[in-house]
Chain A
C-alpha cells in the first residue's frame, strides 16, 4: 500500500523534510567525496597520458613518479637506443620540489621542458607563455589561483628565483602540481648532472612491445613500465591517500542517513502505533504493515537521494570556479552505487520500526 506510505509521509511535513534532508546530506557527502576522488584520479593520469611514450623506463624498483625516486644516468639512453625494436628513447626529468610562499610550503613537481627532444611540455597552457624561457616557470592555474601567484611574480625554488611566465592546466594533483622550466633550469633545480629521472621509450612499428620490454629489462638497473601501467601506478597514489578518507566519510554519511531516517520513521511509527494496531485488527497482515513502513523509508530515501544528487551536481558544476582544488567527476556508476547504498540504508533503518510494529497488540484498539 504505497499510497498509505506516501500519505503518512506527506501528513508530517516537518518530519519528511528532516528525513529527506538527512539523506540528502549523506548523499551529498558521499557523492562529493567520490567525485573528488574520481576527479583527482583522472587529473593525475591526465598529464601522464599526454606524455608520448609506450614505455616508461625507471630505475629498478621505482614504479611511479612520486614514491621511490628514480635516477638514471644519461648513458642509459645509448643502451636503450641499441635495444632492438626501440624507436626512440628520450630523457624525462622531473621531481617534487617545495618552496615557501607567504609562509606556506608549496609543492611543485618541476618538469624539464626539453624542447630539443620534444618532451616535458605542459599538457595545456591557458594563459601566458607556452614554453618557458630561461629563468622562467609555468605553473598550474589551480595553484596560481589558490595561492594567488600571478604571471610576472617571482618564486624562489631551490636557491634560484624563477619568474612565472604562464599557467598550464590539468596538472594539479592533491598536494602538488606540475610546473615546467627549461631543461637547463630544471637540471640545476633538480640537481641532475649527467642524469635524468626517466626515459620515455617508443617502440618501432611492428615490433612486439612485450619482447622489447624484456630486452630492456635485461639490464638489471632499469624497469620498463607500460604507459597504462604507469598511469595506473600514479593514480594509485590518489587511491591510497583517498580510500581511507572515502571509507570514513562513507561510514559517516551512512550513519547520518540511517540515523535520520531511522529516527524519523521510528517516531512516526510510535505516533501511529494505534493506527497500525487498527490495521492489524481489520486484517492487514504483518508483512503488509512492514511493507508500509519500508515504503516510507524508501520513499524518503529516494527523495533524499534526488535532492542530494542534485545538490552534488550543482556544487560540482559551480564550486570549481571558487575553489580551484575542487575537481570532481561524478560518474553514472558512482551515482548508481550510491543509490544502492541509500536504498540499503533505508531498508536497514526500517528494521527497528518494523520490530516495534511487530509488538503492537491489535486487541489494544478496543481500549479507548
Chain B
C-alpha cells in the first residue's frame, strides 16, 4: 500500500469572479522509502499540492489517501492526529518556536503525542545529536545559524517517527552548500529508516538526493524522471559533518 496516493486531484482558488486552478488533475503514488523531488516554475502549484497531501488544505476534486485512508473522511481532530503521527513538516522559513530552545522545539511533537517529559527530552537530545547539534541543545532559535535551525526543524519533523516527510523549499533560506548538506542529511536519515520524503524545490542540485524527480507546470504533472540518489544510504553519511 502506498504511503500517499493522490488520485486525480485538482484545487481551484476562486476570489470574486476570477478562479485559479493551482493543481490540475494530478495523480501520484509515493511508497515507503521514496524520495520525491517536486520541481517546477514559480506558481505552478507545488506548494498547493504539498499542502493537500499534508492535509492542511482539502482538494476541490479528487481524493488523497494516506496509508489507504481517504483523508476527506476524517474530522479535523483526526487530521491533527494523522499529521502528528504520520507526517513531518520542514519549511522554507524553519518555523521553530522562538520561545523554546532547540531541544524543546524537538520535544513539542513528542509531548503533544503524550510522551512524558523525561523520555521526550532524551529522544529529542538523541535526534539532535544525530544531526550534529549536540552542542546546541539549550540554544534559542535566534542564536542558531540558518543551517542549524533547519537541522532542528528536521529533528522535529522526525520526532514522532513519521511515515512521510513533507518539505517545501527547505534550502531556499540557506546558502547553496548548507542547503544541500541539510537536505542530504534529511534524505539520508529518511532513507535509512525507510520513510517517504516529498521535497519541493527549485534547486537542481537536490536531484542528487532524490530517487524520483517530478515536474509540475501550470498545475499539471508533466514529467517524471529518476533521481541520482544512490540506493546505498550510507553514501551520504558524511554530509552532516561538513
Contact = CB atoms under 8 A, between A and B. Distances in A.
Contacts of B92: 366, 368
B77 interface: yes
A362 B56 contact: yes
Given A1-B111, A4-B108, A366-B168, A282 B99 contact: no
Interface string B61-87: 000000000000000110011111101
21 contacts: A3-B111, A3-B117, A4-B97, A4-B100, A7-B104, A8-B99, A11-B99, A274-B95, A275-B98, A278-B97, A279-B108, A282-B89, A283-B82, A284-B108, A285-B81, A287-B77, A363-B56, A365-B89, A368-B93, A368-B169, A368-B173
B54 interface: yes
Given A274-B95, A282-B87, A285-B80, 14 more contacts: A4-B108, A7-B99, A278-B91, A281-B56, A282-B89, A283-B81, A283-B84, A283-B113, A286-B76, A361-B56, A365-B56, A366-B51, A366-B91, A368-B93
Interface bin, chain B = 35 or more
Contacts of A366: 47, 50-51, 56, 91-92, 168
B99 A285 contact: no
Interface residues of A, number: 27
Nearest to B109: A282
Nearest to A278: B95
A280 interface: yes
B144 interface: no
Nearest to B92: A368
A361 B85 CA distance: 20
Contacts of A352: none
A280 B80 contact: yes
Contact of B112 (A278, A288, A365): A288
B122 interface: no
A10 interface: yes
A141 to B, nearest CB: 55
Contact of B108 (A1, A10, A11, A286): A1
A283 B93 contact: no
B51 A283 contact: no
B28 interface: no
A334 to B, nearest CB: 36
B55 to A, nearest CB: 9
Interface in A1-52: 1, 3-4, 7-8, 10-11
A284 B112 contact: yes
Interface in B183-212: none
Q: Please give me the 9 A-B residue pairs with the lowest Cβ-Cβ distance, nearest first.
A: A283-B84, A283-B83, A11-B99, A7-B99, A363-B56, A285-B80, A278-B95, A363-B57, A363-B51
Interface of A: 1, 3-4, 7-8, 10-11, 274-275, 278-288, 361-363, 365-368
A7 B107 CA distance: 14
Contacts of B151: none
A368 B99 CA distance: 20
Contacts of B98: 11, 275
Nearest to B50: A366
Given A281-B56, A365-B91, A366-B51, A10 B99 contact: yes
A282 B51 contact: no
A285 B78 CA distance: 9
Interface string B17-32: 0000000000000000
B220 interface: no
B58 to A, nearest CB: 10
A274 B113 CA distance: 21
A281 B104 contact: no
A356 to B, nearest CB: 17
A366 B100 CA distance: 21
B237 interface: no
A367 B51 CA distance: 10
A285 B77 contact: yes
B125 interface: no
- Of A1, A7, A363, chain B has the most CB atoms within 10 Å of the CB of A363
